[in-house]
Structure 1
Amino acid sequence: MRALVLENDFGIDNLKLKERDVPKAGPGQVVLKMKAGSLNFRDLATVSYGGNPQLLPFVPLSDGCGEVVEVGEGVTRLQKGDRVAPSFFQGWQSGGPVAENLGPTALGSPIDGCAQEYMVLSAEGMSKAPSNLSDEEVACLPCAGLTAWRALVVEGSLKAGDTVLVLGTGGVSIFALQFAKAMGARVIVTSSSDEKIERAKKLGADDAINYKEKPDWEMEARRLTGGRGVDHIVEVGGADTFPRSIAAARVGGHIAVIGILSGLTRDVNVAAIFSQNLKISGITVGSRTHFEEMSRAVVQNDIHPVIDKRFPLAQAQEAFRLMQSASHFGKIVLDI
């Protein structure tokens, strides 16, 4: 079988297709024939500067969709022919996050990820795919979709009539837009591209801010809410945008901190956080139970992930470079 492997060093140019043996299912495991995968910023960061060379070699890609083709001894929750989405955190089935269920069990490093034709995983580490979606669409859900869902619904307790501010038009932000609109919320989107703003409005965005034209976008967000501030902010920007998100939030508002696109650290106005009684939630995807709750909403509302571009597995380097350019709208998919 073919597998995309980062073998000797970090960097997109070091991604190579390799031949590997098709795995066999052990007790409690299933073998998946992978159909599609999708890219996240986490995949780009892991491939580009993953940090620990002891993790090499590994197969990247945190998200995927596959078909169960072999079932190991003792497996009852899945059967051959089931279409499934592997969980990003293989060890997190339910309940709140705990250390042993997070980093050590993540797909795409340290556990080999979805950019391979077959993979073997615990049957507990996956969920049946939403029936209304294609394989490529399902592959967009486990990280980006679930991150947006947990940010707004699980941690944010989103309700109809709330105002949601999403930063940019990447995978998580577009999912947040779709989920928020399905639940009756008002959505404000930021972008540096008028073309992307128009696409976001076609998906239901109520207002938009071009942050190149209005670099103090937090003040514009407050103006759009009559000075009150927004209820929920999906903060994917990181160090440079977080202080502005604090300023954009209403008293008692919620900021879901997800991304590091603009860096890791910067001075933060702590007084603004406590004086505004803000709720700050750090979000690293979610559990299998969260995924299954999200899937029911995806089917009920017939929500379809927005896919910007598709690549064959052999053109994975091009897909990663598109992610690196940040010019995409929604998700980038690999056909496996």
Structure 2
Amino acid sequence: MKTYQVSKPGGFENLKIVEQATPSPAAGEVLVRWRATSLNFHDFMVGVGGISVEESRVPMSDGAGEVVAVGDGVSQWKEGDKVLSLFFPEWLDGKPTGENTQAMSGDTVDGFATEFSSVDANSLTRMPSNYTFEEAATLPCAALTAWRALVVEGNLQAGQSILVQGTGGMSLFALKIAKALGAYVYATSSSEEKMARLKDLGADEVFNYRTDKEWGKTIAERSGGVDHVLDMGAGTTLKQSIAATAIGGHIAIIGILDSPIAELDVISLILGHKRMSGFAVGNKEMQEDMIALLEAKDVHPVIDRSFAFDELGKAFEHQASGSHFGKITVTYED
């Protein structure tokens, strides 16, 4: 079988394809034939060496595939079942702990840039029944992060408002989930073309953050304050996110696309009774709940472009260009 490995940190050219024997599932495991993965900022950082991983680590946090064999003692899966990976394969339910979030797919443990791998039977969920493998591969990181921000942590209700920033996969999932739940959506972009596409997807109002440096204040004046803000940039966005948030509103810090160091307006937080939380992705139970909603509401991802298995480096280069709108995927040949 073919599998990618990080030969050494620091550059897409160090992502090497090697040939290995196809594993057999041990007791409690299933053998999965992976059919697709998708790119996240976390995977990009592994690829460029911004996150240091062991040599020979298999990258990529997301995986969608099908079960081809089951080990002894496995009853919840059978051959042919379509399954999804977990970003935190040991965090099944409840609150995050140091122990259950230590294993991170494509980082501290092997990910899914491989044709086959044996996986603990508990570290998978089913795919949405109305999804392709390519669509499903966009869910475990981007979609689940948006779901947790809005539904689990934010308790989003119909009639409330949200603000999404940019046009990456997570932001577009947040937009689609929010609209499916009856929310009013504000969005930002620096591209007039992308702003028009955001409107086409259902964004109610879109603002250009490049031409309006005080976009947070502008959105607050327009909306009276947004109930749920998903902050993606930290360094250059958090100040504006706080300004845009309603009294008693929630700010989810889920990205560091600009810088992990940000200016914090503490007085605005205190006097505005604003709640701010930082988190990464979610657990298996959250993923299962999200899948049920996506099926019921027929919500599908926006896929910008798909690459072949041997084009992972090119896919990362496309991600680095910043020209994409939605998710970038990699599909595996038969």
Q: TM-score range by the shorter chain?
A: over 0.9
Partner of 1:98: 97
Tell me how far apart the structure 1 counterparts of residues 83 and 323 of structure 2 sit (CA, whole Å).
29
Q: How does 1:200-211 map to 2 (within 5 A)?
A: 200-211=198-209
The counterpart of 2:262, out of the listed 257, 266, 271, is 266
Shift of 1:281: 1.6
TM-score (norm 1): 0.97
Distance 1:134 1:42 in 2: 23
Distance 1:267 1:214, change over 3 A: closer
Secondary structure in 2 aligned to 1:124?
coil
- What's the CA shift for 1:13? 1.7
TM-score by length of 2: 0.97
| Equivalent residue number for residue 222 of structure 1 | 220
Task: In structure 1, give the amino acid aligned to 2:24.
Answer: K
Kindly provide the CA deviation profile for residues 48-85 of structure 1, in whole angstroms up to 9, marking residues without a partner as x: 124435x1221111011010011111111111110000
Q: Whole-Å Cα distance in 2 between the matches of residues 267 and 174 of structure 1? A: 26
Long gaps (5+) in structure 1? none
SS of structure 2 residue aligned to 1:108:
coil
- Contact 2:45–2:51, Cα closer than 8 Å, also in 1: no
Distance 1:141 1:288 in 2: 12
Post-superposition offset of 1:110: 1.4
Report the RMSD for the aligned CA atoms in angstroms.
1.0
Distance apart, 1:270 and its partner CA: 1.6
Letter in 2 for 1:246: I
| Aligned counterpart in structure 2 of residue 253 of structure 1, from 249, 252, 263 | 249
**2:126 & 2:9 partners in 1: Cα distance?**
35
2:30 maps to which residue? 30
Whether the 8 Å CA contact 2:247–2:272 is kept in 1: the answer is: yes
Question: What is aligned with 2:67?
Answer: 68
User: Alignment partner for residue 316 of structure 2, among 317, 320, 326?
Assistant: 320
After TM superposition, where is structure 1 displaced by more than 6 Å over at least 4 residues in a row? none
User: Does the Cα contact within 8 Å between 2:60 and 2:112 map onto a contact in 1?
Assistant: yes
Q: Which residue of 2 aligns with 1:143?
A: 141
Secondary structure at 1:63's aligned position in 2?
coil
What CA distance in whole angstroms lies between the structure 2 residues aligned with 1:311 and 1:327? 15
Q: Distance in 1 between matches of 2:127 and 2:39?
A: 18
1:232 maps onto 2:228 in alignment: yes
2:218 and 2:321 map into 1 onto residues whose CA distance is 27
Name the CA distance, whole Å, in 2 between partners of 1:272 and 1:97: 29
**Equivalent residues in 2 for 1:186-201 (5 A)?**
186-201=184-199
> Where do 5+ consecutive residues of structure 2 fail to align?
none
Alignment match, 2:175: 177
Q: Matched residues in 1 for 2:243 and 2:8: separation?
A: 44
Q: How far apart in 1 are the matches of 2:321 and 2:310?
A: 19
Q: 2:90 aligns to what SS in structure 1?
A: coil
**Paired amino acid for 1:205:** A
Work out the CA distance in 2 between the residues paired with 1:19 and 1:238: 40
Once residues 27 and 243 of structure 1 are traced to their aligned partners in structure 2, the CA distance between those partners, rounded to angstroms, is 51
The code of the aligned residue for 1:26 comes to A
Cα distance in 2 for partners of 1:66, 1:46 equals 22
CA offset at residue 267 of structure 1?
3.1
Inter-partner Cα distance in structure 2 for 1:50 and 1:121: 27
CA deviation string 1:221-259 (max 9, x = no partner): 11221xx21000011112221111111101100001100
Task: Give the secondary structure class of the aligned counterpart of 1:125.
Answer: coil
Could you give the per-residue CA deviations for residues 296-331 of structure 1, whole angstroms, max 9, x where no partner exists? Answer: 000000011110000001111110011112211110
Counterparts of 1:9 and 1:204, CA distance in 2: 40
Match of 2:298 in 1: 302
Residue type of the partner of 1:7?
Answer: S
Among all aligned residue pairs of Structure 1 and Structure 2, give the percentage whose two residues are the same amino acid: 43
Number of residue-to-residue matches in the alignment: 332
SS at match of 2:248: strand
Distance 1:286 1:214 in 2: 33
Report the Cα distance in structure 2 between the residues aligned to 1:139 and 1:9, rounded to whole angstroms.
Answer: 25
Where in structure 2 are the equivalents of 1:8-27 lying within 5 Å?
8-27=8-27
Would the alpha carbon gap of residues 29 and 167 (structure 1) be closer, same or farther in structure 2, given more than 3 Å must change?
same
Q: Which amino acid aligns with 2:81?
A: D
Shift of 1:131: 0.2
**Partner secondary structure for residue 318 of structure 1:** helix
